[in-house]
DNA sequence: ATCGTGACGCGTA
DNA sequence: TTACGCGCCACGA
């Protein structure tokens, strides 16, 4: 398969960095905006990237953060004013449009 | 060269 | 609404 290029990684990082506090985006949206063939690529990048991106503003399309990060992530979002109802963020309201 | 492994997503039931 | 299956795709063993 086509390896991930540095440029693609840069695009994803730029996109994530562009999400304003108080808003969130999804792996799928970022993949589309960065012109990647699969949201999994974004997930892989997020998982491996060690820079200081606002990773907590990236959630799944269902409005739920990945299970192992849920606690801290929802806490950080709440601190920014993004309220989660029963562990789920209302994407309809806080979804960031690129 | 294969195979297992995910911070994923959508269609179906 | 939740649960599952299946497609997705780069990576490391």
Domain range for A74 is 6-93
- Give how far Cα A3 sits from Cα of A7, A8, A10, A38, A58, Å: 11, 10, 14, 13, 23
Number of helical (H) and strand (E) elements in chain A, helices listed first: 5, 2
Spanning CA of A84 to C1' of B13, the rounded length in angstroms is: 28
Residue A17 placed within a domain: yes
Note the pLDDT of residue A23.
98
* Protein residues closer than 7 Å by CB to strand B: A 26-29, 38-40, 42-44, 46-47, 49, 55, 58, 60-62, 66, 68-69
Domain annotation covers residue A49: yes
Question: The CATH number of the domain where A50 resides is what?
Answer: 1.10.10.10
The nt closest to A2 (CA vs C1′) is: C10
Position A1 in a domain:
no
Number of domains comprising chain A: 1
> For each of chain A's 98 residues, which pLDDT tens digit applies?
899 999 999 999 999 999 999 999 999 999 999 999 999 999 999 999 999 999 999 999 999 999 999 999 999 999 999 999 999 999 999 999 99
């Amino acid at each position: 398969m086509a390896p991930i290029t540095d440029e693609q990684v840069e695009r994803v990082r730029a996109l994530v960095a562009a999400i304003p506090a108080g808003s969130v985006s999804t792996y799928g949206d970022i993949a589309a905006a960065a012109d990647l063939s699969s949201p999994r690529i974004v997930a892989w990048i997020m998982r491996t990237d060690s820079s200081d991106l606002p990773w907590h503003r990236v959630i799944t399309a269902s409005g739920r953060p990945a299970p192992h990060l849920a606690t801290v992530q929802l806490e950080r979002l709440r601190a920014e004013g993004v309220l989660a109802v029963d562990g789920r963020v209302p994407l309809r309201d806080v979804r960031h449009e690129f």
